[in-house]
Structure formats: structure tokens, C-alpha cells
Amino acid sequence: MTLSSPLLPGGAVLLAAALTYLSGRLLAQKKWLADSPVARSSHQTPTPRTGGAAIMIGLSAGALLLAAGDPALLKFAALAFAAFGLGFADDVRPLPAFLKLIGQVAVAAAFVLLFGAVDSAPVPFLGDVALGPAAPVLTVFWIVAFMNAYNFMDGANGLAATAAIFALSALAVAAAGAGASAWGALRGVAASALFGFLPHNFPEARLFMGDGGSQLIGFIIAALAALAASGAAPVSPLFAPTVFMPFLFDVAFTLAHRLGRRRNIATAHNEHLYQLLIRLGASHARVTALYLGLVAVSTVAAIFASALPAPLAFAAPAGLFLAFLVPALLLFRKASAAGLFSAPAPNAARRADLLPKAAE
């Protein structure tokens, strides 16, 4: 539904940023659910991991304001709260992996039931192909996979938040062809909520978004991307994966490397590319700046791919994947020479962490 006045989305964006910032400041002071450093951690002092609650507060307020333009936003906000609740429960008391996966699938399946699935996708050399009965399954898979990938990449100060701000803004611009809708404004609200959180997390982290925050934002990005791909002015289903190719490549490459070494991929580790950079001496700020630059390049590639015929739409993500491959191999070779794969990181390398609640 189109919004009648630009004041409504503008107010929602400002409200989300302000409430997230103020809530985050309070939560940072209270130090509830403080995350104590362990051998894999990227921080050295106990830091609260309740930032997701601040983001949820700001996002909810903005969504409630926008619901005047489209009441369906309330259903979406309820699903977002469920994703946050799942992650926050894991922050309070770690959940078994299978139980957490069931929760993610349930949230994603509820989204498909309420809002529908992405019904077609580009296939190399064939163009757009109808997904048929596989559409709901593939949409659920996309949402769950992205929730986990985003969660894995939440491990350096500002990394997950800045990339999400950039990507949500890009997705909002890409979907602008549908008009000034409440759904388009929601992407801005989500980005502004993260913007309100960022001062508490970058360049120094006084607050982590925790599993609650990473599950929340991962769901929002994946779900809004699915909606954009099936909207009145559909955006290619490849747009969001292409924008986030630096994150998705890092996760896929690291998992493949661990499988090749017969390591348990379900076990917490600090072998992601961004973690290896930190363990080799790069600062959090430099790593975050590097990944943000890569996301910017990937966004340009996604925009370029949008102008290509559907049979060639895979050129951008495939090209990015190949471009990242050689630097990744060189980094893994350097990390291996430094002995970073032979044993858990010692005290000197306590600046990396995969655990979602020890992130940032």
C-alpha cells in the first residue's frame, strides 16, 4: 500500500533510530547478560549482548507507526519478534542446535504461509524459471540459510551492523519502483534502527547485538528480500545474495575448508576469513571497513546484473565468487603458515569469535 504522506515514513525512521540508541545506552549501562571473554573471543572485557533488544524496540516502534499504511506490517513485526525471541532465548541459555534450527524453520515457514514464496528464479542460460511446488521449500531454505550466515558473520565490531545498513538501503532503492510503500519504508526503519545501535558497537563495542539481534536482522533482510522479489515491481531474487556475497562467500568457503579437513562444522571456531584477518593482526575497524567496501562493490555488481537478461543474471554473483577465491586461498595459506589451524587460538589471538552471542 502506498503511503499518503512522506512524514509518516520519515517519522518512523527517526523514531526507530532514536529509540534504539536510547535503549542501547541503557542496556550498555546495565550490563545484563554480559558476555565474558573466552579463548575465541574478539573482546577482552565482559560486554552485554542485549543489543538485539534495543534494535527490536526501535524497529517495533517504527513498524507500528508504518502499520497505518499497511496493517500487514503487524504480522511481519510479529514474525520478526519471534526470530528475535528465538535468538534471545539462546543468549539467556544456549539452545541445542537442532532446537534452534526447528525454531528458524518455523519462523520462515510462517512467513511463507502469511506472505507467500518467491515463485520464480533466474537459471543460468535459461532465464526465469517457475519454481512450482519447490517455491515454498526454497524460500524457507533461503531465509534459514541467511539467518545462520548473518549470525556467523556477527563477530567483529560493527561488521554485521554496517553491512546490513548498507544492504537494506540498497534493497530499498532497488525496490523503489513499487512506489513509496510501507514495505519500502520498513527497510529504511530497519536500517535506521541499526544506525541507532551502531554507536554502541563501533569502533569500540560497549554492547553486542547478540544472537537475538543477529537472528532478528538476518530474518528481516532475508524476508524483505523475498518480498521484494515477488512484489509489484519485483527485484531479482539474486539481488540480495549478490549484495551479501562477501558474507556468503566467507561462510561457504570456511565451511568447505573445515569439511575438507574433516572438522565438525557444527562446532564453534574462529576460522572465518574475517576472524583470520583479526588473528593475523588486523584491527576490527580495518576488517569492518574492508568488508563494507566489498559489500559496496557487490552492490554495484548487483545493480549491474539487474540490467542483464535473465539467462545472464548469474554473471555477477559468479564473478564475485571467483574474484574472492584467490585472496581467500592466499589468506588461508598465510593463516596455515602461522599455525592458526593447528590449535585453538592462544591469548595473543583472542580477537576472533564465531559464537553469535560473543559477536561484534
Low-confidence ranges of the chain (pLDDT < 50): 1-2, 344-360
Whether residue 115 lies inside any domain: the answer is yes
Q: Which pLDDT does position 225 carry in this prediction? A: 93
Whether residue 252 lies inside any domain: the answer is yes
| 340-358 confidence digits (pLDDT tens) | 987 544 443 333 333 333 3
Q: Which pLDDT does position 359 carry in this prediction? A: 41
| 315-341 confidence digits (pLDDT tens) | 899 999 999 999 999 999 999 999 998
What cell numbers appear for 304 in the block? Answer: 549491474
List, as one string, the DSSP characters of 65-125.
HHTTT-THHHHHHHHHHHHHHHHHHHHHSPPPHHHHHHHHHHHHHHHHHHH----EEEETT
- Please, are residues 117 and 138 in contact by the beta-carbon 8 Å criterion? yes
Which residues, 6+ apart, have CB-to-CB distance to 252 below 8 Å?
none
Domain encompassing residue 22: 7-358
- Please, are residues 271 and 347 in contact by the beta-carbon 8 Å criterion? no
Q: Which pLDDT does position 33 carry in this prediction? A: 76
- Please, are residues 239 and 248 in contact by the beta-carbon 8 Å criterion? no
Q: Which pLDDT does position 38 carry in this prediction? A: 59
Q: Within 13 Å and on the Cβ side, how many CA atoms surround 80?
A: 30
| Total domains in the fold of the chain | 1
Whether residue 222 lies inside any domain: the answer is yes
Whether residue 96 lies inside any domain: the answer is yes
Q: Residue holding cell 540480495?
A: 240
Whether residue 1 lies inside any domain: the answer is no
The whole-model pTM stands at: 0.89
Whether residue 262 lies inside any domain: the answer is yes
Whether residue 2 lies inside any domain: the answer is no
